[in-house]
Amino acid sequence: MFLDPYNYELDLEVQKEEAFEDGMEKGKNIGFTDGANKKAEEDAVNFLKEGIAEEVVSRCVGLPIDKIQDLAEELKK
C-alpha cells in the first residue's frame, strides 16, 4: 500500500478551512438567536402596548418575566 508523504502546508490549509466553516456556522447560529430574541422583544412590546398582562406576554413570546417587566418599565418612560 502506498501512502502519500505528509504535507504540512496542505494539512494547515485544511485546518484553516475547517475552522473558518465552524466559525461561520457558529456566527449564523448566534445571528439567528439574536434575531429571534429581537423579534420576541418587539412582539412583547406590542402586546404590552395593547394592555396584555405581563405574565401572559411572557408565556406567549417565550421571554422571562423579568425581561417583560423591564420592557414594560421602558414603555412607561
CA angle 29, 33, 36 (to 5 degrees): 140
Contact in structure between 45 and 55 (CB atoms under 8 Å): no
Q: What number is the average pLDDT over the span 10-18?
A: 94
pTM of the entire predicted model: 0.69
The answer to whether the CB of 7 falls within 8 A of the CB of 15 is no
Q: What is the 3-state secondary structure (H, E, C) of 47-74?
A: HHHCCCCHHHHHHHHCCCHHHHHHHHHH
pLDDT digits (tens, 9 = 90+) for 22-73: 999 999 999 999 999 999 999 999 999 999 999 999 999 999 999 999 999 9
Give the model's confidence band at 1: pLDDT under 50 very low, under 70 low, under 90 confident, else very high.
low
Whether 45 and 69 have beta carbons less than 8 Å apart is answered as no
